[in-house]
Amino acid sequence: MLYRCYAKINLTLEILGRRDDGYHDLASLVHTISLADKLRIEHADDLLTRVEGLDIDPDTNLVARAAALLASTTGERRGAELSLVKRIPAAAGLGGGSSDAATTLVGLNALWNSHVSVADLTRLAADLGSDIPFFVRGGAAVMRGRGEQLEAVPPLGGQWFVILVPPHDVLDKTRWLYTALEASDFSSGETTEAAADVLRRRQALDVTHLVNGFERAARSVFPGLSATWAEAQRLAARPFFLSGAGPAVFALASDRADARRQAARLAQLGSAHAARTVKHARASLKFAAETSIGYS
């Protein structure tokens, strides 16, 4: 079976505050987009993972960990061969590794006929990482808590984006970015609620709805990001916003032609992509019949 592991962008990302357990409470409106890795899952005697398209791949590790977690939870003794073709830039704020891990859970659940419910798959996903539960279903959702509490909202139809990932090599990026946060980076979550309301009313988003609380920290942690960001805004003549903890930045595009034109312009600055919103990451699965349950 062949699956697409869709990337996400955080249309909003607000950090509400630091918690006693070392995590941070978030409010984020997140949406799957058409930029995707491909994951082929086949029967095999042992659990094998391999990857194309990236030299050193932290995301392979998450696929292997997801597979091992499902196998140990269900007592599965059969193996599987998992072949990942990477297209989503790694550790960029686009959720590539998390999407690969969630798709591994969903795909192996189908291959092994494990009958693990969507709610239980979502709980397993949360054990692997805070933003992995979202990718079990994808689409549009408000993430709360440390990222594992999800409220589905109506997805945006056919919104195009141009995405730029500047070259970077910051190790253990997510933890670094959280550590670099200051009290002035925290906000109430109101912008996220307002943006989610726009989707609930099935209206179009505009730039006034977009925000990211990591912006100041990302500019200080990623060398050269501020200059690249300014140059992207000059070349594409529009504001860009950070996705996740960065360093990927994105802008709204009016249609596919506009997104592609801007991506071609930005290619000199890094890895540039045109992508559109994806409403249901699992539309093609038998599993899709269950998804009306919503998140637990």
* Site residues for ligand C5P per CB under 6 A: 22-24, 26, 129-130, 146-147, 174-175, 178
Q: Which is nearer to ligand C5P, 14 or 76 (CB)?
A: 14
Query: Residue written as tokens 């091992």?
Result: 68
For residue 165, report the phi and psi dihedrals to the nearest 5 degrees: -115, 105
Q: Which is nearer to ligand C5P, 38 or 65 (CB)?
A: 65
**Residues classed as catalytic:** 8, 131
Tell me how far apart the alpha carbons of residues 146 and 15 are, in angstroms, rounded to a whole number.
10
Tell me how far apart the alpha carbons of residues 224 and 166 are, in angstroms, rounded to a whole number.
9
Q: Which is nearer to ligand C5P, 97 or 166 (CB)?
A: 97
128 and 135 Cβ atoms separated by less than 8 Å: no
Q: Which is nearer to ligand C5P, 26 or 248 (CB)?
A: 26
Q: How many helices (H) and strands (E) does the chain have?
A: 9, 11
Provide, rounded to whole angstroms, the least separation between the CB of residue 144 and ligand C5P: 10
Provide, rounded to whole angstroms, the least separation between the CB of residue 289 and ligand C5P: 30
Shortest CA distance to 3 belongs to which of 95, 91, 76, 110? 110
Provide, rounded to whole angstroms, the least separation between the CB of residue 247 and ligand C5P: 16
Shortest CA distance to 248 belongs to which of 74, 13, 47, 39? 13
Provide, rounded to whole angstroms, the least separation between the CB of residue 128 and ligand C5P: 8
